[in-house]
Amino acid sequence: MKEKVTCFLPCRAGSQRVVRKNIKPFAGHEYGLIQIKLCQLLAAEKIDEVVLTTNDADILAYAESLDAPRLRLHHRTEELSSSATSTDQLVGHALELIPEGHILWTHVTSPFITAKYYDDVIQAYFDQQKKGYDSLMTTTSIHGFLWQDEKPMNYNRSIEKWPRTQTLKPVHEVNSGAFLAPSDLYRELDDRIGKRPYLYTMDKFTSFDIDWPEDFVIAECLVEKELVTL
């Protein structure tokens, strides 16, 4: 029997850095990031249901207009919709909405993760479960000189002061493109990843995250130059 995969898509109103970030026009799409992301998720063959949780009336109205059977809407409470709401709080919210099956957590601010990428991520998740991994999260691999607490993180200067960047051990940055785990893991660990997550590496263009005003400009340039697809 096929195991159900449900997407958890949190999307709140009141962005502080970019006004109406999730629904302002973007790259020729009238409803912007929410329009792009819902089209991508609903086109993914391996996603059985999409749960959109938001306190934004305009986003709810747009989503209702799609009349998509696989889309479930939830009007999120204001207590879970403020800028002070933590990711840890949303973990419990995700489990409440999706108590069974597998939870794919993603964001509208990753517009270049297409339906195909979601299907590939889900396939990789189930494949890696057979190898002992209990969850998955997408990352961006960084090959560079990284320092923390006034010392190198990923190379030893006593061996070589300036090694070639190609030979440096990569550091994985969590890009928040996607997290995938069983609901039972959420229940057991109160987390969206387990004790042994599989790191699914994405390139910088695909994993590009829109958070600041300049990110909108850069992202639209990427689309215009056809360096990415939506």
* pLDDT tens, position by position, 100-125: 999 999 999 999 999 999 999 999 99
Q: What pLDDT is recorded for position 144?
A: 92
Query: Fold for domain 5-224?
Result: Spore Coat Polysaccharide Biosynthesis Protein SpsA; Chain A (3.90.550)
Angle CA(212)–CA(76)–CA(197) in degrees, nearest 5?
65
pTM, rounded to two decimals: 0.94
The whole-chain average pLDDT of the chain stands at 94
Task: Write down the domain spans for the chain.
Answer: 5-224
Flag whether pLDDT at 98 surpasses 80.
Answer: yes
Residue 213: strand, helix, or coil: helix
* pLDDT tens, position by position, 126-141: 999 999 999 999 999 9
Q: What pLDDT is recorded for position 13?
A: 84
Identify the band that residue 229 occupies on the pLDDT scale cut at 50, 70 and 90: very high
Residue matched to tokens 């699914």: 200
Q: Are 38 and 63 in contact (CB under 8 A)?
A: yes
* pLDDT tens, position by position, 137-191: 999 999 899 999 999 999 999 999 999 998 898 899 999 999 999 999 999 999 9
Angle CA(179)–CA(37)–CA(225) in degrees, nearest 5?
110
Angle CA(69)–CA(71)–CA(77) in degrees, nearest 5?
140
Q: What pLDDT is recorded for position 210?
A: 93
